[in-house]
Amino acid sequence: MSHITHAQCLICGKTFEGESFEYVCPDHGNEGILDIQYDYNRIRESLSPEQLASNPDPSIWRYRPLLPVNSDSKVPALSIGGTPLYHFETLARDLGIRSFHLKDDGRLPTASFKDRASAIAAVKSVEKGAKIITTASTGNAAAALSGICASMGLPNIIFVPHSAPQAKIAQLLMFGSKVILVEGTYDDAFDLCLDAAAEHGWYNRNTGFNPYMSEGKKTCAFEICEQLDWQAPDVIAVSVGDGCIIGGIHKGLRELYHLGWIDTMPRLIGVQAQGSSYMADAWKNNENVIEKTAQAADTVADSISAGLPRDRIKALNAVTQTQGAYVTVSDDEILRAIPDLASRTGVFAEPAGAATWAGIQKAAKENLISVKESVVMINTGSGLKDVNSAMKAVELEQLPCFRIPPDITEVNRMIDKLR
């Protein structure tokens, strides 16, 4: 058994006992995203900061009582979670803030943050006896589900836009998924996947539809706070597409606060691309995201390109309830942030990961972060996911790269030129 008590619809507040729901609140079509609630008193009996400190398992399953899975469910062999939190004093100084940490989720098994959620989906699909599991994705959620399914021997069918970066499609094919390349946008692939899953009875991992995905994503907040010895940072910044990550981080922080393991709630800063700025616009203009319709989405950061963010209710709450902010960055700023972050930290991020670095610099400049504050940035994906975009950044920044014949005199001439 898990410690789930009920799930609550974020639109009408209706509650569903235990796990007596399929995915969404049936009163709102596909939009009725649920929030999972637990018996926190019982969780306190089996989990504490002291108990965690003596647990050598670095994976997300160290927090199992706080996760929506049965205590005896088999978990994937791949190690999900336990990513490093790096401290960079020089970057804090340059930003003019107290401290700066970088949580590198590009280090997860399939090289993106999505592994945290897909691991939960895979375990839940087995609990529910599903024969096939499916998702639509801009690429990373798909690769994550695909890799984790491969590790557990679970058949899966994946819908991605045909324009997804090559590396992400290659991952799907290597992991043995049935891959459906949709001639359309992510939003098209999403709707198609929902229809197909309903028609064929597949287990559906889709973001902003399957309420357990936030539960996987919240583990990153647990790790950040535990790595900081339960001293929550002042600000956590992360890029936003569908809004599931930022909503999940918010959920994790609320749980830690409720349990009394942290004393303060960080402000959440969501970073969006100027070309896919639904959430930032909704926040700035005080719009109702239940009514607000889709916007065009076009950005080099494919992982945060979402015309209609599927987890928009949670994503808006995350920022408004923490007195945080949304910032937007241009594609050029995103591309330039890739080598800027990589050359100063050794962490190579894909465009959607680097977007957060561009956003933090903007937030610091606009005084959305103050000098006394500590900031944690999450890198959500590895730069190796999208080498094409990195090479565009090379061009933009005219990064030096010399091609010479294999001859020492040529090397010497080049060195002279460099002086």
Ligand X SMILES: *Cc1c(COP(=O)(O)O)cnc(C)c1O
Which of ligand X, Zn ion, none does residue 81 bind to, with CB < 5 to 8 Å depending on kind?
none
**145 — phi, psi (to 5°)?**
-65, -45
In degrees, to the nearest 5, what angle opens at C-alpha 251 toward C-alphas 245 and 252?
90
SS3 label, residue 153 = coil
Which one, 114 or 218, has the nearer CB to ligand X? 114
DSSP at 308: S
* Size of the residue set binding Zn ion (CB under 5 A): 7
- Kindly write down the DSSP assignment for every residue of 226-252, as one continuous string: HHTTT---SEEEEE-SSSHHHHHHHHH
Q: Which amino acid appears at position 308 of this protein?
A: L
DSSP at 29: G
* Size of the residue set binding ligand X (CB under 6 A): 18
Alpha-carbon distance of 93 to 169, in angstroms, equals: 39
Under rule CB under 6 A, residue 239 binds ligand X: yes
How many C-beta atoms surround the C-beta of residue 231 within 10 A? 11
| Closest residue to ligand X in the complex (CB) | 381
> Position of tokens 């592994």?
115
Site for ligand X in 62-121 (CB under 6 A): 112-114
Site for ligand X in 279-318 (CB under 6 A): 303-304
Under rule CB under 5 A, residue 9 binds Zn ion: yes
Which residue in the set 211, 275, 324, 381 belongs to the binding site for ligand X (CB under 6 A)? 381
Under rule CB under 6 A, residue 242 binds ligand X: yes
Give the x/- contact pattern for ligand X in 140-169, rule: CB under 6 A.
x-----------------------------
- Kindly write down the DSSP assignment for every residue of 269-304, as one continuous string: EEEEETTB-HHHHHHHTT--TTTPPP-----S-GGG
How many C-beta atoms surround the C-beta of residue 3 within 10 A? 20
Cβ at position 373, least distance to ligand X in Å = 23
Under rule CB under 6 A, residue 353 binds ligand X: yes
Which of ligand X, Zn ion, none does residue 25 bind to, with CB < 5 to 8 Å depending on kind?
Zn ion
DSSP lists the bridge partners of residue 180 as 159
Site for Zn ion in 11-50 (CB under 5 A): 11-12, 14, 25, 27, 32
Residues that bind ligand X (CB under 6 A): 112-114, 140, 239-245, 303-304, 350, 352-353, 380-381
Residues that bind Zn ion (CB under 5 A): 9, 11-12, 14, 25, 27, 32
